């Protein structure tokens, strides 16, 4: 993708590169100019309107101020939501008839990183082409507003409550969570109030974790990228299920009542089986190149088509739209349910799993064990230029390993879209062959980059 955008918006360490205050003002100017020129209806708002949400990072205050300065100077009025999940920005952009939306978050990254995600007026993430055009606008002169046409900014005091009512509306009104004991880990992030409160209002008994954000502890040894503490707590508390969200609550990882951690693939399988049984599954289930081979085989056995998209929920969403799919996601816990919400939403995905439990009376372990994952390993290699993936020696080794594994395994080498890493993934039915393949691929990459 051209310009400063990655697979999920703009992201970097705070006060470096695109996450410097002056760079964010520039991004706001270019984004505001694009929407003012291309997507604004004069009869809708006197000034174009943007809604802005953020997670709980300390740097969110700085970036929010920089965005407001840039947007107001271009003639864009700002509606500030405060700390809310990414999905709340998506929903409220559409609900409030805004011209576009912005979420300030680096998702699952540590506090020292931050990022900016952009949404169109329908609440969907922007297409690559629009992001490329915004990047190009940043390079040139940008016309500012006349003094009498400057934008205004005001805070929306009930944004979290509006989103909570939306989330609850996706849960079958004939069902209740009464009698269910839940552990909910909010990663000290954007859902630290909305997730426990929503689940509690639906009747569940809540043991909340990760609900004391201090600006620096977001995702710190907690949340969807570190679910082991949550899983142990489920066992200790004899809970029915554990729910883990990440910093902006667009990811979901679960633990069953036995403390077994269940990733996005198991969640996808459970939802697919339930939707098929209820006759509401449309199109294929869409995963990614990282989705476990066990998921693909499980769905095939059930007569459910499965397709793979590149990593990133935007690419899953694109393929889902092309195929008419109603269910997609990735192992990291992004679950897309377009008949319920316009973007990945960890809380709404969790509510659908809880609805299965409430309807069926089955335990989480029975619902979240549709398949046995094919052994898979992932190695992240730092400080290696992604150009090595095009080196003839690396390509030759990849081809040789792929041939040896045949239909009993898969490999994937790719640069991360959100971090400076090369990711190496190997799947194989036989773990000894898996380990050998991983060693060969890592050695090839390190040798070429030395």
Q: Spell out the alpha helix ranges (H) of 202-283.
A: 228-237, 264-277
Q: Quick check: 90 and 124 in contact, CB under 8 A?
A: yes
| Within-domain flag for 349 | yes
Note the pLDDT tens digit of each residue in 351-377.
999 999 999 999 999 999 999 999 989
Q: Are residues 221 and 344 in the same domain?
A: yes
* The predicted structure's pLDDT at residue 38: 87
Q: Are residues 313 and 397 in the same domain?
A: no
Q: Does the pLDDT value for residue 417 go beyond 80?
A: no
C-alpha dihedral (14, 15, 19, 20), degrees to nearest 10? 160
Least confident segment among 22-31, 115-124, 407-416:
407-416
Q: Quick check: 154 and 51 in contact, CB under 8 A?
A: no
* The predicted structure's pLDDT at residue 383: 81
Q: Which of 157, 176, 210 is the last residue of a domain?
A: 157
Give the separation between CA 241 and CA 234, rounded to whole angstroms. 7
| Within-domain flag for 2 | no
Q: Does the pLDDT value for residue 122 go beyond 90?
A: yes
Q: Are residues 146 and 200 in the same domain?
A: no
Note the pLDDT tens digit of each residue in 305-316.
999 999 888 899
CA-wise closest residue to 114 among 33, 192, 218? 218
CA-wise closest residue to 8 among 274, 310, 448? 310
Kindly state the tokens that stand for 225: 């990228």
* The predicted structure's pLDDT at residue 2: 45
Q: Are residues 117 and 189 in the same domain?
A: no
Q: Are residues 153 and 183 in the same domain?
A: no
Least confident segment among 104-118, 173-187, 212-226, 435-449:
435-449
Q: Beta strands 153-155 and 77-83: pairing type?
A: parallel
Note the pLDDT tens digit of each residue in 126-149.
988 999 999 999 999 999 999 999
Note the pLDDT tens digit of each residue in 244-303.
999 999 999 999 999 999 999 999 999 999 999 999 999 999 999 999 999 999 999 999
Q: Which of 89, 122, 157 is the last residue of a domain?
A: 157
Phi, psi of 80 (to 5 degrees): -95, 120
Partners of 53 in the beta sheet?
82, 103
Q: Spell out the alpha helix ranges (H) of 139-212.
A: 159-169, 194-201
The count of domains in the chain is 3
The radius of gyration of the chain from alpha carbons, rounded to an integer in Å, stands at 22
Give the separation between CA 40 and CA 250, rounded to whole angstroms. 28
DSSP-assigned states of every residue in 73-91? HHT-EEEEEEE--HHHHHH
Three-state secondary structure call for residue 186: coil
* The predicted structure's pLDDT at residue 45: 60
Q: Which of 111, 126, 157 is the last residue of a domain?
A: 157
- CATH code of the domain in which 131 resides: 3.40.120.10
Q: How confident is the model at residue 387 (pLDDT cuts 50, 70, 90)?
A: confident
Catalytic positions, written as ranges: 107
Give the separation between CA 113 and CA 161, rounded to whole angstroms. 27
Strand (E) or helix (H) holding 32: helix 21-38
Note the pLDDT tens digit of each residue in 147-187.
999 999 999 999 999 999 999 999 999 999 999 999 999 99
Q: Are residues 178 and 138 in the same domain?
A: no
Phi, psi of 438 (to 5 degrees): -60, -45
Kindly state the tokens that stand for 189: 């992030």
The CA–CA distances, whole Å, from 59 to 13, 219, 302 equal 10, 15, 47
What domain range includes position 336?
163-367
| Within-domain flag for 172 | yes
Least confident segment among 165-169, 229-233, 328-332, 428-432:
428-432
Q: Are residues 15 and 98 in the same domain?
A: yes
User: Which pTM was predicted?
Assistant: 0.90
What is the average pLDDT score of the chain? 94
Q: What percent of the chain has pLDDT over 90?
A: 86
Q: Quick check: 350 and 251 in contact, CB under 8 A?
A: no
CA-wise closest residue to 358 among 166, 165, 174? 174
| Within-domain flag for 55 | yes
Q: Where are the beta strands (DSSP E) in 213-362?
A: 241-245, 252-256, 261-262, 285-288, 306-309, 327-329, 335-336
Note the pLDDT tens digit of each residue in 253-270.
999 999 999 999 999 999
- CATH code of the domain in which 395 resides: 3.30.310.50
Q: How confident is the model at residue 1 (pLDDT cuts 50, 70, 90)?
A: very low
C-alpha dihedral (296, 302, 303, 309), degrees to nearest 10? -20
Q: Are residues 443 and 382 in the same domain?
A: yes
* The predicted structure's pLDDT at residue 150: 96
User: Angle at which helices 346-360 and 86-95 pack, to 10 degrees?
Assistant: 100
Q: How confident is the model at residue 421 (pLDDT cuts 50, 70, 90)?
A: confident
User: Angle at which helices 159-169 and 86-95 pack, to 10 degrees?
Assistant: 90
Q: Quick check: 342 and 122 in contact, CB under 8 A?
A: yes
CA-wise closest residue to 13 among 109, 132, 86, 82? 109
DSSP-assigned states of every residue in 325-336? -SEEE-TTS-EE
Q: Are residues 146 and 188 in the same domain?
A: no
């Amino acid at each position: 993708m051209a310009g400063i955008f990655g697979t999920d918006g703009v992201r970097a360490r705070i006060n470096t590169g695109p996450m410097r205050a002056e760079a964010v003002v520039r991004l706001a100017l270019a984004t505001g100019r694009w929407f003012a020129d291309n997507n604004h209806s004069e009869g809708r708002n006197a000034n174009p309107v943007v809604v802005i949400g953020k997670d709980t990072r300390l740097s969110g205050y700085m970036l929010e101020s920089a965005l407001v300065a840039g947007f107001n100077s271009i003639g864009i009025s700002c509606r500030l939501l405060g700390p809310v999940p990414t999905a709340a920005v998506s929903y409220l952009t559409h609900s409030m008839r805004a011209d576009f939306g912005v979420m300030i978050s680096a998702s699952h990254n540590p506090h020292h990183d931050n990022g900016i995600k952009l949404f169109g007026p329908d609440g969907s993430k922007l297409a690559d082409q629009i992001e490329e055009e915004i990047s190009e606008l940043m390079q040139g002169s940008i016309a500012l507003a006349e003094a009498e046409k400057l934008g205004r900014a005001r805070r929306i005091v009930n944004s979290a409550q509006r989103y909570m009512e939306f989330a609850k509306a996706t849960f079958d009104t004939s069902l209740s969570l009464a009698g269910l004991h839940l552990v909910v880990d909010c990663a000290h992030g954007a859902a630290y109030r909305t997730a426990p409160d929503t689940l509690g209002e639906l009747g569940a008994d809540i043991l909340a974790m990760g609900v004391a954000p201090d600006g620096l502890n977001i995702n710190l040894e907690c949340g969807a990228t570190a679910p082991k503490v949550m899983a142990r707590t489920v066992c200790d508390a004899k809970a029915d299920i554990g729910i883990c969200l990440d910093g902006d609550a667009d990811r979901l990882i679960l633990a069953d009542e036995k403390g077994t951690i269940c990733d996005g693939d198991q969640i996808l399988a459970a939802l697919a089986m339930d939707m098929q049984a209820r006759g509401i599954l449309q199109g294929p289930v869409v995963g990614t190149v990282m989705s476990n081979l066990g998921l693909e085989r499980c769905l095939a056995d059930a007569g459910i088509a499965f397709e793979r998209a590149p990593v990133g929920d935007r690419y899953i969403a694109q393929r889902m739209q092309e195929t008419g799919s109603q269910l997609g996601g990735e192992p990291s816990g992004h679950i897309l349910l377009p008949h319920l919400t316009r973007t990945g939403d960890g809380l709404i995905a969790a509510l659908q799993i809880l609805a299965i439990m409430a309807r069926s009376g089955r335990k989480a372990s029975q619902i979240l064990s549709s398949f046995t994952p094919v052994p898979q390993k992932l190695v992240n290699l730092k400080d290696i230029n992604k150009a090595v993936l095009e080196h003839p020696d690396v390509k030759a080794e990849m081809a040789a390993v792929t041939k040896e594994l045949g239909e009993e395994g898969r490999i994937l080498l790719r640069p991360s879209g959100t971090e400076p890493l090369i990711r190496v993934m190997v799947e194989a039915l036989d773990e000894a062959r898996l380990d050998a393949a991983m060693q060969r691929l890592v050695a090839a990459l390190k040798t070429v980059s030395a």
